[in-house]
Structure 1
Amino acid sequence: MQDKLRILENIKTIDFNAFDVRLWIIKKSTNAGQHSYRALSASIDGLDADLVATLRKFFFGVEQQVEPIRELSAYSALTVDTDEDRALVHTVDATDFAAIINKINLGADNEPVTDIQEFHNAWALVVEFKFNEHCFYAFSKVKGGWNLKRVSTISSWTFSDGDFKKIDVCNTFSFRNYFDFIAFGENVFIRDKANYELGLNIREGLEAKRDVLVDALAEHGIITSVDDLKIAIGNNKTLLRRLVSAEETRYFEDQQFIEDMKAIIVEHQWEINVDDDGKFVIDENNIDLFLKLINDKRFISLIKKQMVDADRVEIVQPANNAD
């Protein structure tokens, strides 16, 4: 992670005021489970400073509002919500963000927005910031898509110079003034994990890996039934995360780990049975415990001496002995 921290420090030396800013409206369509994207260029007038300020806030924070990024953690299937001064780091090619950026990089070949109706059901905003060799792609998810058919029942007024004035809101859009995640080079810096996963089809990626990993467990002689395990996991995001995290640990490839796991199950009388061939019999009643154990995520706390489950684990390095 030290190399990512160096990238972060280099970002902080860039002259943000020199950026050329372009706004892209992203449309998404799905056919037979396959997603495709369009990037529509939108002309902006007087918004550059606001968007650059939002980019700066993402990295540097704003006093008493948003903490600057001080620490980084690698994004993984079981990443939990982070501290306010910590961002997650993932790779651009790991999600659909690469396809979206490729569309944006078509530049003038993309259609411009010329009619307000083209904003209808927009899926996301991406702001492109360029200066010399530096390029950022900042993503902001449009929750639910802009729906131009909605009729507002609220009248908007402004107060200036002692007078109230009515504002025509028919062509007014709301921007959250906050980016969910930003691509820079091959890295994606994430400050809103939920929108990152919502925007870039993380669940679908997990479902694809589910089938691969279930087959791997079967090939290693660990489970009795591929179909039963797939059905037990289904599309439950928590279970999918736990299964996919097994790809990172790969403890299931260690036969001694599996034998130790069986012994612990017997010792504590947990309801995970094995068949005559020593394979685990998994169903919807024990799948949660099985996935925790296969990832070694059940512990005895040092102080309370209680057994606990923890999806996020950080190895504690022993303290150096004093001379």
Structure 2
Amino acid sequence: MTDSVKLTMQTLRATDFKHWLATFWLVKRKLSQQQARYSVLKVDTDTSLEQKLKQAVTSKILDTDYQLQAYDFLTADQDKGLLTIDSAATDVTLIQAEIDKGTANQKVEQYQDLLDSWAMVIKLEHQEQAVYAYRKINKFNHSTRLSHISFIQFKDKELKDLDEQAIFTLDTQIDFFSYQGTTFISNKREFESALNFRAGMEQNRDVVLQEFVDLNIFSDATLLKQHIGANLNYLRKVSSIQKSGYYKDAKFMEELVKVNSEKNWGLQVENGVIVINEASIELVLTLLNNGRLESPINHEVFDASVKKKVS
């Protein structure tokens, strides 16, 4: 994580949001061949709700218990951590471009317009500055699911049926927000779900597996691709492998083969090329992630899916 990202957050936390305007947007998403297309609807709100939405965003920003950490595909439990990623590496830039069209966007005119939305965005803006805060839409706002739900209110000592009213549930927990080219993530799972990160990781899988073959690391990566498939855990691992890029370092690969032989780790290597089999796939993913680590204290050896480099 760069110093500029830290400075961005410091600036944001020092901001007085009193005169910032809050607007509310719904995001519709369509998938075509794993590519997402987004459109947005402007939703008018009363003063009370506008203040509640604004408070939801500013309370997340101003909570100094949240510590910054660079986003990685393999990340430990966040527990009051804000993961940071360049917005240009995500779909938020596409969504924000739609929101920034302003009055050119359609407004919500009837209840049905609210349903089947993918996400909601609260935009705070003042002069040339803007914060975009995102939340994945609650499942009770999808039309097919609403048909099986009854909304009940307890009033005057009895339960009353609200089915005849236009109910829209709103969860103002913020999954992530973007400001000045950086996205700050408080809920990694919902962030990845809302922005279709699985498709990006599947692309990473295909790229890195082809590079394995081109670099003559494996004679054939077909079995590895079949094993990884669309499994999110394996997609994270292979995306992390691509990001770290150890496999592109010839010396690293030479040392991997050498240590594998010395430590009897079980990789089958023929003429410097790793031979993939069912039993070795997990080991391959671990070693290419540089995830087999030895304690300098008692020399125990661990496979670590999540690790943090000590500077």
TM-score, structure 2 normalization? 0.91
Sequence identity of aligned pairs in percent? 26
1:287 to 2:281 alignment: yes
Distance in structure 1 (CA, Å) of the matches to 2:137 and 2:272: 50
Residue type of the alignment partner of 1:6: L
Residue type of the alignment partner of 2:76: V
Shift of 1:81: 2.4
Equivalent position of 1:76 in the other structure: 72
Distance in structure 1 (CA, Å) of the matches to 2:150 and 2:129: 44
- The 5 A counterparts of 1:188-203 are 188-203=183-198
Residue type of the alignment partner of 2:249: D
Equivalent position of 1:254 in the other structure: 249
Shift of 1:151: 4.5
1:309 equivalent among 295, 303, 306: 303
Shift of 1:248: 2.6
Distance in structure 1 (CA, Å) of the matches to 2:21 and 2:233: 41
Deviations for 1:107-154, whole angstroms, at most 9, x for unmatched residues?
A: 111111101011221111011111112201110001447224425335
Shift of 1:101: 1.0
Cα distance 1:74–1:267, how it changes in 2: closer, same or farther (>3 A)?
A: same
Equivalent position of 1:45 in the other structure: 46
Q: What SS is found at the alignment partner of 1:29?
A: strand
Equivalent position of 2:147 in the other structure: 150
Q: Is the 8 A contact 1:243 1:291 kept in 2?
A: yes
Q: What SS is found at the alignment partner of 1:25?
A: strand
Equivalent position of 1:181 in the other structure: 176
Aligned length: 306
Q: Is the 8 A contact 2:140 2:169 kept in 1?
A: no
Q: Is the 8 A contact 2:266 2:280 kept in 1?
A: yes
Distance in structure 1 (CA, Å) of the matches to 2:253 and 2:34: 36
Q: Is the 8 A contact 2:246 2:288 kept in 1?
A: yes
1:121 to 2:116 alignment: yes
Distance in structure 2 (CA, Å) of the matches to 1:119 and 1:284: 48
Equivalent position of 2:269 in the other structure: 274
Distance in structure 1 (CA, Å) of the matches to 2:108 and 2:151: 27
Cα distance 1:178–1:201, how it changes in 2: closer, same or farther (>3 A)?
A: same
Equivalent position of 1:64 in the other structure: none
Identify the range of structure 1 (71-80 vs 165-174) with the bigger mean alpha-carbon deviation.
165-174
C-alpha root-mean-square deviation of aligned residues, in Å?
2.1
Q: Is the 8 A contact 1:17 1:52 kept in 2?
A: no
Distance in structure 2 (CA, Å) of the matches to 1:145 and 1:284: 42
Distance in structure 2 (CA, Å) of the matches to 1:91 and 1:222: 31
Distance in structure 2 (CA, Å) of the matches to 1:165 and 1:212: 57
Q: What SS is found at the alignment partner of 1:16?
A: coil
Distance in structure 1 (CA, Å) of the matches to 2:167 and 2:59: 24
Q: Is the 8 A contact 1:127 1:139 kept in 2?
A: yes
Q: What SS is found at the alignment partner of 1:77?
A: coil
- The 5 A counterparts of 1:53-68 are 53-61=55-63, 68=64
Shift of 1:95: 1.6
Gaps of 5+ in 2: none
Higher helix share: 2
Residue type of the alignment partner of 2:53: L
Identify the range of structure 1 (190-199 vs 141-150) with the bigger mean alpha-carbon deviation.
141-150
Gaps of 5+ in 1: 62-67, 318-323
Cα distance 1:31–1:145, how it changes in 2: closer, same or farther (>3 A)?
A: farther
Cα distance 1:151–1:75, how it changes in 2: closer, same or farther (>3 A)?
A: same
Distance in structure 2 (CA, Å) of the matches to 1:132 and 1:263: 60
Deviations for 1:14-51, whole angstroms, at most 9, x for unmatched residues?
A: 22121111111111112233221110111111211101
Q: What SS is found at the alignment partner of 2:217?
A: coil
TM-score, structure 1 normalization? 0.88
